[in-house]
Structure 1
């Protein structure tokens, strides 16, 4: 073992009292903590291993620290307590009362199931009831981080309201009355409007109610664990004294990420002995959220004025040039640094320049990176592939690189891969949904496209269209008649689904899921076995820890919420890889398949040459690699664009200093610094420059500062396209996954297969061609989503109300409106009773608005829901106009009712639907509407617009182009924000992880 340098020795050999160690990247901070544990055990009289507490943030880091201490100082060191903050606090809380921990996703699910009890108004979107739960949970977590209890926040709200009342009394002018936008609510703003006060009261109520619900259910959220432990120690002085006697020395790693609640926990534990050692680097603070990066250091200085400070500045990881670039980069954060003049000193030569490669596009970036890694390894320059890491800001940035690596046979491993987004797991989930929910046609379509059933895509298309034509689920169409052409596997599939359905009604899912996965051969495919095993383990944990019945219907509800909350099923650590257990012949579900198993995450075509590590920059924290590539250093990608939180904790309630300047930019720069300092020998930065993409401002700053360690380069020529990996077209004998996405995207419209376009179909294609294909080409049966169902109900009810008022003005009572709404209300289709009730209330309110507006200015009703068909742009256009009125002898207005988000003037001016309907009105009915109206039922506002000849010409051209693309079979997915509302996500290839 190398000797400690003077700085390290000073930290290790410090005696009693508080110690602050500012440890830059690669300066050996973990070694200092371990060596200090050994020094204390050998030099402090009477100190036992049990008297030392070491705290960090990640379970893996804690385990590594424990093992390294044992290797260095022997088995007794294992008796020292090395733990994460949350594990330590959970054990404290469990000693007084048994509790189950809720991670963020499970907390979301718990609150979603209890949504009605939260009594939300401002933070409830009826069409998407769980829409604001993430924001509310984040707000509650920030409260806990700052030791703001529900009572504290309630007191703050009451104080704000009193201040607003006093301001209103003392001011001759009325206070602000403008309505605050839900998206811009700021609890610490000076807005005194009634709506803002109501929002604050609702926040206080939700915080109190959610905490109460969790406490009564003996649950504690991950975000509340630290503050709950602090509260426990405050009301249990005997327990606190016991802990102080037990832990005479406390050491903390990654101190820069400590929040106020964690700091207060440390203050309480140290007590009078004050033997607290903290080690951290404010330049690597990437988890402090909104607090200043140096806040924890300032708090330490204020609470422990007698502290000793040691600065570790000698770097044992990177070359001089890498440190030069990293140092210049982080220097731009000078206003938000604990020590603005801090510099790392390299222990190694300057080394190679840090290269910045500027590419023409993402494909060229991926192709060059893959070939460069292959060249360096196969040419003997850089040893094995395991010496390389590729870092990126967002998971999607790796997709093209993965294809390129596969193309060149380069072994790789992806860290933090989402198992539930991988094709084999998505297939397995589709089987579960097809078994548990026979009316789920989307999942059954995915199952039918599984190559094991030998179904041709044309036959699946016929089944889907038959089901849609008969308005029945795909399962009924599959069972009700013989297939249009021979399909031998049909009976085997139906038999499997029926027998599994019987099994699901009687046995817990955890008892038979692994059997199903085995018999489907999902453990056999190279690389898929551990993914499926991780999912099976996830289900088993759900069965054992979170489930009431363990049955499939309960799991399907849980997993739907899990995915809506953004939950990800992760691979376990590699040393915990789940291997498929062998099965006895009697365990099988009846499908002939091989029992071969794969126990590695990824195939390694290079044998023992290792594999390239792919990971986000966040995932790379604490790691180091010989050669590092950083992708997509682009404006808007790294740094990302700033997103303000929907609900902010008031500045008055934050503990510690708040950041100065552009906090988001500074936090992103610290993350950039983390990426740079992962490299030991070489560092390659990748950017793109074209009409729509520009290099990151971080690179621009380094260039403008004339950093001597950077060298900009460009590849000699554009890279050829990267072909598909072929993962779905592997040689015979290897399992393939469901082909539903590729089939739909590749389908072309057959000759003579005529089609028409409606306004909604045209808009759907322009939004996402693959969604159009699933909806209108394949016609996969999908029950209407709640917003569409409500819209359909309201259109029918509004039609009846308007017709009645046109015949007998002013003759509709509230009871009559309720009766009309009841006649059109469906027996089912909404998410739950809360959504049903809220939509009923909204529906009645909207009908009352229609009644009032019609009564105030009745018009002559010409048409309602008038259907049309016309030829335009070489295509048949169809549709149905909601309403046409004659408002004056020579004036006609066309009205379209909207039940969802209120449409703006811009929406009306650009509406494809209104343009098409105006043309249809003219050509089919011989009427030229003077006014085109979007009637917002939610607000009663009528947004009027008109059309110019140029707008009709533009739409005709769009129709021609769209129809040509449809006839040509052009149906690529177009992922974006609206995907969250798409029914076809379970079968869309754009929402599968590239692997």
Structure 2
């Protein structure tokens, strides 16, 4: 029997950087609005943390201090750092600071108001739930037996059944909600600009809202909001109830906003209600580092802040600029200034100076003919920095434009020379995780048999589910081909391979060693089909059935146990891979559980469409193992706000990477 004790990881509080008089001025600010602008590494977040700790040290109740940031993960990390700093300043444990994302804060307002009225709590409308409703409504538009109720333009009609069209339509509706644009206003804009697609989308939006209202009235009895509607609904509630608004303004004594450049118009409207009119409000921003424009963020909000948030006397909010970089030396700053010349907008905050004792740093630019040669150079450079200069693996990072496209050659090169790497679950979309992709492919082929073609069959055989290597695959093909030719069947080996996975009885005469991978995949396909066909089965049930039958849990846990027992380097690498894979599968089950909670009757196909349609990493509450010392591989988007001693930007001269412009392919 094993006993485990769960211990909360202590928050890591960074050193205070308050030798800067501008930072000290911001920390001491307690009256009216203030905009703090600073480039990367100027200590914006540290200054915010010090300011909150100072208010608590002065006797302010932490629950009267509201700190707003963009996402749940960012809010969680910031909350831990603020809590650690408060304990360090006051020497005592106090109540948890109010650190929230805008969506979480808005949801809390709506839930508290519903409880006071004795109504059911509101609920968050998830992406798959929205996609399900949208695609059901779009089916009416492609029904040839009835006229199109929305009037979609003829050039868009071939796309109406696709997942991409539904996703882009949901994106359009969310951006409209963030800007307070309803169906009538969207239709008016479409007619004025000659956009027939916007007029059709306005008709669709009107019916979508009506369907949601009907579901709320006849279903659970609680109102459902998506992330975009959530903030707008909270602002509307406060506007319609002056007494509630006044009570909320009295409750909040100080408000701080991190990453102002990543906010959208709806969030600014809510902020102006709770913190406008001269209340103590401090917002931190770097106009050049807005990374959520594809989700509606508008960096021009930074420039509009002083005029939007005025003092009690009516004067524009004061703006201060943090001009000292605590992250980069003179050489690095000179290089970033050369790059920043191409950026638009105000440039005063880009004129950073290094701290006096900062080493200059080194900037190198290398050009390579091939991806392979680039990856080999990166691997050797990291290994040399670790062995000769003593840089810890965890103090190095490789930043790429696209994890999906650039990771494989980099990981192969790094592992070949013994460089440990880690790709966090939050840095890679779930369906691209190496351990998750085969499970999703297996489920897709089980519930949609036509998806099982030669390419899918080979991928499953070579995955951990089959465990075949190229030699085993070739022998299997030869065995199937020999049996087919003996009976006069001249079909190619690819077709025979697919048939063997659908009907494993044909594998009986193939040598046992070469047939084992195909038999394992065929058995798992049958398990998935049987679980999915059971009455009331959910995707969670199907996943559990496949997971239990695959034996992967015992295999990966065994790899971890063997590494602890013998300490061999090979076993260590296998244990790291197993640990990473278990984290990814945990995230998959967490996503499936939340999907089933929200859509208990939805089919497995809907879940697969939801997960496979993710283009950015999804948020997850699943626990993640500690990787220890390893070089982190991540995108520039995920690297925002982080720092290392050595950073490699790989593939900087190529035109790859995420292309968010295509989201506007239909809607402009």
Give the aligned partner of residue 84 of structure 1. Answer: 101
- Partner of residue 369 from structure 1, selected from 378, 381, 398: 378
- Report deviation, 1:62: 1.7
Partners of 1:470 and 1:375 in 2: CA distance: 49
Check 1:541–1:378 CA distance in 2 against 1; reply closer, same or farther (3 A cut). same
- Report deviation, 1:136: 2.2
Question: Does the CA contact (< 8 Å) of 2:332 and 2:363 recur in 1?
Answer: yes
Check 1:228–1:515 CA distance in 2 against 1; reply closer, same or farther (3 A cut). same
Give the aligned partner of residue 420 of structure 1. Answer: 431
Give the aligned partner of residue 269 of structure 2. Answer: 264
Give the aligned partner of residue 629 of structure 1. Answer: 648
* Partner deviation per Cα, 1:271-297 (whole Å, 9 max, x = no partner): 545221111111222334588634333
Partners of 1:460 and 1:249 in 2: CA distance: 73
Are 1:387 and 2:404 an aligned pair?
no
Give the aligned partner of residue 317 of structure 1. Answer: 327
How does 1:119-518 map onto structure 2 within 5 Å? Answer: 119-120=149-150, 121-122=152-153, 123-125=156-158, 128-157=161-190, 160=192, 188=193, 191=194, 196=195, 198-217=196-215, 218-288=223-293, 293-304=299-310, 305-333=315-343, 335-337=344-346, 339=348, 342-379=351-388, 381-395=389-403, 396-415=405-424, 416-433=427-444, 435-436=446-447, 441-442=452-453, 447=460, 451=466, 456-459=476-479, 474=499, 478=503, 483=508, 485-487=510-512, 501-504=529-532, 505-506=534-535, 508-511=538-541, 513-514=543-544, 516-518=546-548
CA RMSD of aligned residues (A): 3.7
Please state whether the residue corresponding to 1:576 is helix, strand or coil.
coil
- Report deviation, 1:53: 0.8
- Partner of residue 610 from structure 2, selected from 543, 554, 562: 562
Question: Does the CA contact (< 8 Å) of 2:480 and 2:496 recur in 1?
Answer: no
Larger Rg: 1
- Report deviation, 1:613: 0.7
Give the aligned partner of residue 521 of structure 1. Answer: 551
Partners of 1:354 and 1:206 in 2: CA distance: 52
Question: Does the CA contact (< 8 Å) of 1:414 and 1:614 recur in 2?
Answer: yes
Check 1:440–1:465 CA distance in 2 against 1; reply closer, same or farther (3 A cut). farther
What's the TM-score, normalizing by structure 1? 0.53
How does 1:701-716 map onto structure 2 within 5 Å? Answer: none
Going by fraction, where is strand more abundant, 1 or 2? 1
Check 1:388–1:571 CA distance in 2 against 1; reply closer, same or farther (3 A cut). farther
* Partner deviation per Cα, 1:82-115 (whole Å, 9 max, x = no partner): 1011111122233435444245555334312332
Question: Does the CA contact (< 8 Å) of 2:328 and 2:361 recur in 1?
Answer: no
- Report deviation, 1:448: 5.7
* Partner deviation per Cα, 1:791-824 (whole Å, 9 max, x = no partner): xxxxxxxxxxxxxxxxxxxxxxxxxxxxxxxxxx
What's the TM-score, normalizing by structure 2? 0.76
- Report deviation, 1:436: 4.2
Partners of 1:11 and 1:345 in 2: CA distance: 20
Give the aligned partner of residue 984 of structure 1. Answer: none
Going by fraction, where is helix more abundant, 1 or 2? 2
Partners of 2:81 and 2:519 in 1: CA distance: 58
Please state whether the residue corresponding to 1:206 is helix, strand or coil.
helix
Are 1:57 and 2:70 an aligned pair?
yes
Please state whether the residue corresponding to 1:251 is helix, strand or coil.
strand
How does 1:763-912 map onto structure 2 within 5 Å? Answer: none
Check 1:498–1:148 CA distance in 2 against 1; reply closer, same or farther (3 A cut). closer
* Partner deviation per Cα, 1:390-413 (whole Å, 9 max, x = no partner): 111222123311110111121001
Please state whether the residue corresponding to 2:66 is helix, strand or coil.
strand
Question: Does the CA contact (< 8 Å) of 2:245 and 2:273 recur in 1?
Answer: yes
- Report deviation, 1:621: 0.5
Partners of 1:384 and 1:472 in 2: CA distance: 47
Partners of 1:65 and 1:640 in 2: CA distance: 29
- Report deviation, 1:426: 3.1
Please state whether the residue corresponding to 2:270 is helix, strand or coil.
helix
94-103 vs 221-230, greater mean Cα deviation: 94-103
* Partner deviation per Cα, 1:415-444 (whole Å, 9 max, x = no partner): 312342344433333443455456653366
Question: Does the CA contact (< 8 Å) of 2:531 and 2:541 recur in 1?
Answer: no
